[in-house]
Amino acid sequence: MTKIALLDYGMGNLHSVAKALEYVGADVVVTNQPQQIESADKLLFPGVGAMHDCMLGMHEAGIDDVVRNAIFNKPVMAICVGMQALFEYSEENSQNADGTPCLGLLKGQVKKFDPNWIDEQGNRIKVPHMGWNTISGMDTAHPLWQGVDEHTHFYFVHSYYCQPEDNRIVSARCDYGVEFCASVIKDNLFATQFHPEKSHKAGLQLLKNFVEWDI
């Protein structure tokens, strides 16, 4: 059975992610202990809340470097704020003009939705982006997207979106006043802006694909 370290750094939402992973066949350990993270087969990096608190929680737990190292030696999945934390910096909770520094594992930045943008129905968008939306552009032949149809609905809750420098890592897109990056895949790293654990059958399929991902 695949052992997954579910990263606990004080950002919540761990129970629903853990139950979803167990449902699709994973052995889950919720932890912030470097030894347990290093010994696990895979790492899942969830996130609910503010970027400043996310980075502070990892730093105080002493696991920011552990996460950086894990990226290079095992499959890693990141969700929502976890995905945003992979980039260089975020406009959220900025203490200075440069924003909140993040892990810097992916080139790019995290930008805020503009409430003046217009959605596909001609209305101003609501911020945060909350609820169900379709994604598109994924490579359904990739093992991580197996069994997930084009234009499947997933559940989003976020006010900020990722803007990678390299569009080649974007594995799915979503439209909410602007077309934004909904998922990235780079080598052994997989990240989603939406919440698979809240996305019913399609989300469980995606988590199952990650549990079974052999790279």
| Among 132, 114, 116, CA closest to 174 | 132
pTM of structure:
0.94
Instruction: Please state the domain count of the chain.
Output: 1
d(CA 213, CA 42): 10
d(CA 192, CA 206): 10
Peptide linkage before 128 cis (omega within 30 of 0): yes
CATH number of the domain residue 67 falls in:
3.40.50.880
Domain that residue 26 falls in: 3-212
- Tell me, what's the pLDDT at 74? 93
- Tens place of pLDDT per residue across the chain (215 aa): 999 999 988 776 799 999 999 999 999 999 988 889 889 999 999 888 888 888 888 888 777 888 888 888 899 999 999 999 999 999 987 666 668 899 999 999 999 999 999 888 888 999 999 999 999 999 888 999 999 998 899 999 999 999 999 999 999 999 999 999 999 999 999 999 999 999 999 999 999 999 999 87
- Tell me, what's the pLDDT at 94? 61
- Tell me, what's the pLDDT at 49? 82
> What positions carry a catalytic annotation?
80, 195, 197
| Residue 124: C-alpha distances to residues 62, 101, 120 (Å) | 41, 30, 9
Which sign does the torsion angle of CA 11, 15, 20, 22 carry?
positive
d(CA 40, CA 43): 7
3-state secondary structure of 91: coil
